[in-house]
Amino acid sequence: MTNETETQTNIGKADIAPGKSQTGRSGKLQMQDKERSSLEKAHQQNSGTKPMQSNSLKKLFEKELEVVYHSEKQLIKILPEILGLVSHPNLQKEFSHHLKQAGIQKERLEHIFHRLRLDKKGGKSLSMEMLLENAKKEMSELESGAVRDSLALIELQKAVHFEISLYGSLIDMAEVLGYHKIADFLDKSLAEEEDTDRQHSFIARNLYNQASQQVGKEPYRH
Ligand SMILES: [Fe+2]
């Protein structure tokens, strides 16, 4: 058969075959669809969230809300394992405090989802997961002491700054969207993150001084 329908079908098959050159409008459109699908898949794998279905600010706000929610959940899941590798008493205390705060922040976000009548979607923040899993792996390769604790502090600071940037952006978007009460809730979490950042900076100088003098498993000096 050499009718037009068959010819178009064959062109379509040739277009999706690997290594074939793309010709014709239908071939280009199929290629564009394929590329778009690959990009969306890559985006989904990288962000851990579904691609946005709309260009609206409200949808962007909801998507970033999901990202920070999953970040808090990842932190709650992995931080106890990092905490188990930390030996400095002040750092243990600070990480334990931050873990409790993450639980409160997660509940705050669940309250916001409820107010906005949004489902708490499944998924995870791959950025946060990669950051914390990498921290855990690198820490496990070091001996217990000030250098390993310094690494833990630096890695957790990356996580804190990641969340500070998310909460800051969410507050600005919430105000523009008229979600003033929600902005107030998010502002509480931002203030907690910023306080954690200050506490970490306070501990860091002392910790780095001790790390600079560490030889093998030299104990802490207090
Ligand atoms: Fe947090």
Question: What integer pLDDT is reported at residue 11 of this predicted model?
Answer: 30
Domain boundaries 57-212, corresponding CATH code: 1.20.1260.10
Residue 185 CA to ligand 1 center (angstroms) comes to 13
Q: End-to-end CA distance of the chain: give it in Å, rounded.
A: 88
Q: How far apart are the CA of 96 and the centre of ligand 1, in A? A: 13
Q: Which residues surround ligand 1, an ion (CB under 5 A)?
A: 102, 105, 163
- d(CA 123, CA 140) in angstroms, rounded, equals 27
- Among candidate residues 54, 48, 15, 10, the one with its CA nearest the CA of residue 34: 15
Place of tokens 């239908």: 26
- pLDDT digit string (tens) for 146-173? 999 999 999 999 999 999 999 999 999 9
Mean pLDDT of the chain: 81
User: Which residues of the chain have a pLDDT value below 70?
Assistant: 1-54, 215-222
146 vs 209: CA distance, rounded Å: 9
Tokens 């405090």 correspond to 97
The residue extents of the domains of the chain are: 4-44, 57-212
